Amino acid sequence: MEEHRRASSFAGLSRRAALGSVGAAAALGLGGCLGHVTAQDATPGDMANHPIVGAWMVTTPGGPSLAVFFADGTNIQGVPTVQAGPQGVTFTGAQVGTWEPDGDRRIHFTGVQLHTDATGAFVGTVTIDGHPRVSDDGQTLIDDAPETTVTVRDAANTIVNVITPNPGGPPATGIRMGVGSPGFPPATPTGGTPTS
């Protein structure tokens, strides 16, 4: 209860911003039991040939996210930069982190986002630990990772909340991006959309 009270009074970092980060993490996390391989154990070829390497368009329950996994074990993810929530507007920076193989098609990544309030004051960070798994054909990601965590810290680095994905919640999916193929999921026509 005390943790919930502190999290809800965490000025500058809205619950929606934290949940949006959960969505981004969830989009890149998929459970499963595979052998663990650390980056130190992996050879440069293991990293470069891992199917996660590349750029991904991710659709999450919290909104869109872009993710790039580099062959050297670094990772950059882009999320919407402005989010409105109960505490007002929160501004998020790109998520920057590292990844390592955790099986033939799965990885473990840790990334950090910096957050500021509407005045530009630093209000804290969100750390995401995810476990994405790439499909057999290497073109999609899908999420239902129970071990994915989002850790919210205030400006003094005090942990104010740890969030895990909602079991049974809507899945998040990712599509590999390519030249001439930005990775958007198929559009769903609306009643007012012209057909010709």
Contact assessment for residue 95 and residue 113, using Cβ atoms and an 8 Å cutoff: yes
Q: Where are the beta strands (DSSP E) in the chain?
A: 54-60, 63-69, 74-78, 82-85, 88-92, 95-101, 107-117, 122-130, 140-142, 149-154, 159-163, 173-176
- The answer as to whether 189 is a domain residue is no
Range(s) of the domain holding residue 13: 2-176
- Could you give the number of structural domains in the chain? 1
- The answer as to whether 193 is a domain residue is no
pLDDT digits (tens, 9 = 90+) for 167-178: 777 766 799 999
The better pLDDT of the pair 77, 19 is held by 77
pLDDT of residue 149: 84
Nearest-angstrom CA–CA distance, 42 and 61 = 33
Q: How far is CA 115 from CA 5, 129, 138, 195, in A?
A: 20, 17, 33, 42
pLDDT digits (tens, 9 = 90+) for 101-157: 988 898 899 999 998 998 899 999 989 888 888 999 999 987 666 778 889 899 999
Whole-model pTM: value is 0.73
- The answer as to whether 187 is a domain residue is no
Q: How confident is the model at residue 88 (pLDDT cuts 50, 70, 90)?
A: low
- The answer as to whether 18 is a domain residue is yes
The better pLDDT of the pair 68, 19 is held by 68
DSSP letter string, 23-42: HHHHHT----------TTTS
- The answer as to whether 50 is a domain residue is yes
Q: How confident is the model at residue 192 (pLDDT cuts 50, 70, 90)?
A: low
Neighbouring-strand partners of residue 113: 126
Average pLDDT, the chain: 75
- The answer as to whether 123 is a domain residue is yes
pLDDT of residue 87: 55
- The answer as to whether 14 is a domain residue is yes
- The answer as to whether 119 is a domain residue is yes
Contact assessment for residue 98 and residue 110, using Cβ atoms and an 8 Å cutoff: yes
